[in-house]
Copies of this chain bind each other. A is one copy, B any other.
């Protein structure tokens, strides 16, 4: 099958996240990395293009030139989808330009800086009938998909409590190091990163994971955030109380200075009949609990899983796949959508998930500002 030509904005030399996208797209095997704007510095961008074997004429100096250049090509030789892996404040302008020019977009999260921007992108995607995918990476794991299917099947009964956590420690050594390191990190500059660090960068993944696995919408939040170090301008830690419809409550806890934590994203959904727990660091284990039976440990590549989970894993049981394969699953879903193939809701996070995420981030920040009061999403 013909591969979809993939462009990239950002992700040049030394950029971890761009490399992750390229690896995932290669695993998925529906894409061909064809060009892009890899660095604000055109020289570095060209250096990178050479190393990657990108045709020199497809290493563009700006997004505008890339759009122009690709539109000038014949349709079957054109970059059709573009991955945006820049600092946060650039997601919106580039996504907007791309969508207006009929390119499909794979965008890093948080999707935009404001809710309004997010809604504008959603409208554009709808109007132009394009595919827009957002890297809520963790939705690509087979057992997360299995969890979604299990909840959706009703086997948990009425959901009674939801508890999600996202703890990392990496910012700790930065805030306790020299100040210059803080100012050097774009994530800690509100004008580049947005209104939130901890909630915008990782809390929103926990939020998305809840909505993804349960199919429920969070209606209100009440938050208490902390910036830990005096003078630090963004949140590095926070607790968010959640309210859903029908009296359901829950909590998201998130921290970027939980010293020693690596990437500890977990979710527990407690139902009246059964409960399910999952953690990102051991993504191939899904725990199901009931009042009466032994705890069940579900793993990929077994007949007891849903079709959706099984199609998201290719190795036999006991051969652990990891996060690249999760991202590859999202690229695969995006490819199906671009090609007009049938796909399942949940195969990739959409622009609507991006709008939801922005609403969450802003509501959380506002609740904290307003003296820890309930804010509607």
* Interface, chain A (partner B; CB < 8 A): 1-3, 16, 19-20, 22-23, 26-27, 29, 51, 53, 160-161, 163, 165, 167-170, 172-173, 176, 222, 224, 226, 228, 237, 239, 241, 243, 247, 249-251, 253, 255, 257-264, 268, 270-275, 280-283, 288-299, 301-304, 314-325, 372-374
Contact = CB atoms under 8 A, between A and B. Distances in A.
A281 B163 CA distance: 19
Given A259-B289, A274-B260, A297-B295, A321 B318 contact: no
Contacts of A270: 167, 169, 255, 257-261
A317 B263 contact: yes
B239 A320 contact: no
A222 B372 contact: yes
A275 B295 contact: no
A257 to B, nearest CB: 5
Contacts of A247: 226, 228
Nearest to A26: B26
How many copies of this kind of chain does the complex include? 4
Contacts of A274: 259-260
A303 B291 CA distance: 10
Given A168-B318, A291-B172, A302-B294, A258 B275 contact: yes
A3 to B, nearest CB: 7
20 contacts: A16-B314, A23-B29, A160-B172, A160-B237, A161-B258, A222-B224, A222-B372, A241-B372, A259-B275, A259-B289, A260-B290, A261-B275, A282-B282, A292-B303, A293-B296, A294-B297, A295-B297, A319-B322, A322-B322, A322-B324
B3 A53 contact: yes
